[in-house]
Amino acid sequence: MARSRKSPRTAKRPRPREKPTGNGRPTIRAVAVRARVAVSTVSRVLNGGYASEGVKGRVQRAIRALGYAPSDTARSLVRGRTGCVGIVTHSRRSPWVSDILAGMEATLAHSRHSVLLGSLLLEGTYDSSTVSTWIHERRVDGLVFARYTRRERTLCDAAEAAGLPVVLLAPDVLHPAGYVVRCDNVRAGWLVAAHLASLGHRRIAYAAGPRDSLDSRDRLRGLRTELSRRGVRMSAADVWQGGDYTHAGGAEFAARYLKLRKSARPTAVVAGNDAMALAFMRAVLQRGVKIPADLSVVGFDDISDAALYWPGLTTVRQPAYEMGAAACRVLLERLAGRDPDPEAPIEYDVELVVRESTAAPPARRRARKS
């Protein structure tokens, strides 16, 4: 009788070992081995590409089991990214810029992006070569300009040509490649005008920022519109044009004010920003002008020093921290391929903060006493 032959058992292949990296961290290859797929399939799943539900499930289970964390550096190299964003400002010494940078830093800390900070004014000299190198050598994936001016047009053109997304925060001028984050500065001027007119001021001067500053022009427009509505005329002689937003600009306006005959001096001065206003106040106080008994002063921004000086500065608060955070969120959106509508910029509301630097003009106070 013939002996029955047993069919040979199929030998199981030994499962490849899931080798960790030299530092003990699991690799993408280890995930592929455990999920029984190719490395390219794991990469596709990680980056949101197509894969069947069964394959996705195996890859995700393998990732959880191994504790695999994809390398941001590797992803950046695959996508042609550096993992860095550039923040460009004229000077980091400005208190307003410090608040802007704090908001940016907080947002980018959660994005795993590194930050390169470029100041265009170093030791008083304008130098854009560092930022230009970032662009031409592709050291950054995108740029945020804190207060973009005409001088940065070449940089913005170069970024556009290189395909780098750009966000303009409180720009003096606009650029077609840059998405804008700003405040409602027309309303800011309106709030100041309403406050001063309600106190009784009829001669108000505006110590403006740079001539081509969009913020400065909008504030003046709001100021004039509301004063006109209240029957107060602001003449061309009452608009003092400046060259920058610095303390030096405020001191220059103070010298101009002090040269006027006392009878010809305005009873209120609205400065282009708080730095100018505080420098203006210091200079006129040193010359015996009493604030607010002789003169009311208003600024814009509400930097921390505005509440610390005496008399405290009446000013219009803009949310600098939130603006910095928003600028970086928009940049990250653009890097992810989700471009917002350039015709619908982010515009924040503003708030009037009344402190001790404003009061009724001398004539009205004398009338009340009599």
CATH code at 273? 3.40.50.2300
- Residue count of the chain: 370
The DSSP symbol for 4 reads P
**Which bin fits 337, alpha (ψ -120 to 50), beta or left (φ > 0)?**
left
- Return the beta strands (E) in 55-170 as ranges: 84-89, 114-119, 121-122, 125-126, 143-146, 166-169
User: Dihedral (C-alpha) 204, 184, 169, 242: value to the nearest 10 degrees?
Assistant: -10
Q: How many CB atoms lie within 10 A of CB 344?
A: 9
Specify the pLDDT at position 78: 44
- The answer to whether 99 and 321 have CB atoms below 8 angstroms apart is yes
Residues 195 and 315 in one domain: yes
Question: 121 and 261, same structural domain?
Answer: no
Same domain, 129 and 149: yes
Rounded to whole angstroms, how far apart are CA atoms 170 and 13?
Answer: 65
For residues 272 and 250, state if they share a domain.
yes
- Burial degree of 39 (CB within 10 A; 0-12, 13-18, 19+): middle
Tell me whether residue 216 is in a domain: yes
- Do 364 and 221 sit in the same domain of this protein? yes
The answer to whether 316 touches 300, Cβ cutoff 8 Å, is yes
165 vs 145: CA distance, rounded Å: 11
Q: Which of 70, 102, 129 is the last residue of a domain?
A: 70
Residue 245 and residue 363 in one domain: yes
pLDDT of residue 1: 46
pLDDT at residue 355, as a whole number: 96
Indicate whether 53 and 99 sit together in one domain: no
**pTM for the structure as a whole:** 0.73
169 and 181 Cβ atoms separated by less than 8 Å: yes
Residue written as tokens 């970032």? 134
Q: Which residue has the tokens 């920003």?
A: 273
* Residue 361 and residue 240 in one domain: yes
Is the domain of 364 the same as that of 216? yes
Q: Is residue 95 part of a domain?
A: yes
Q: What's the burial of 99, exposed, middle or buried (CB within 10 Å: 0-12/13-18/19+)? A: buried
In Å, how far are 20, 23, 51, 65 from 72, measured between CA atoms? 18, 17, 22, 20
pLDDT (tens digit, 0 to 9) for every residue of the chain, 370 residues total?
444 444 444 444 444 455 554 556 788 888 889 999 988 888 777 765 678 888 888 988 888 888 877 655 445 444 455 678 888 988 777 788 888 888 988 888 877 777 888 888 877 788 888 899 988 888 888 999 988 888 889 998 999 888 889 999 988 888 888 889 999 999 999 999 999 999 999 999 999 888 888 889 999 999 999 999 999 988 888 998 877 788 888 899 999 999 999 888 999 999 999 999 999 999 999 999 999 999 999 999 998 899 998 999 999 999 999 999 999 999 888 888 777 776 678 999 999 999 999 999 986 555 555 4
Q: Are residues 194 and 294 in the same domain?
A: yes
Helices (H) and strands (E) in the chain, counts: 14, 14
Phi-psi region of 69 (alpha: psi -120 to 50; beta: other; left: phi over 0): beta
Q: Which sign does the torsion angle of CA 283, 286, 287, 291 carry?
A: positive
Peptide linkage before 292 cis (omega within 30 of 0): yes
Tell whether 194 is covered by a domain: yes
- 337 phi/psi in degrees, rounded to 5: 85, 15
Task: Answer whether residue 200 is part of any domain.
Answer: yes
363 and 232 share one domain? yes
pLDDT in the model for residue 248 = 86
Does residue 14 lie in a domain region? Answer: no
Angle at 46 between CA 42 and CA 51, to 5 degrees: 60
- The answer to whether position 9 is within a domain reads no
Domain boundary among 8, 39, 70: 70
Query: Residue 165: inside a domain, yes or no?
Result: yes
Which pLDDT belongs to residue 253? Answer: 93
| Residue 64 CB contacts under 8 Å (≥ 6 apart), including other chains | none
- Domain residues for the domain of 62 are 28-70
Q: Per the structure, how many domains does the chain have? A: 3
Q: Are residues 210 and 315 in the same domain?
A: yes
273 in a structural domain: yes
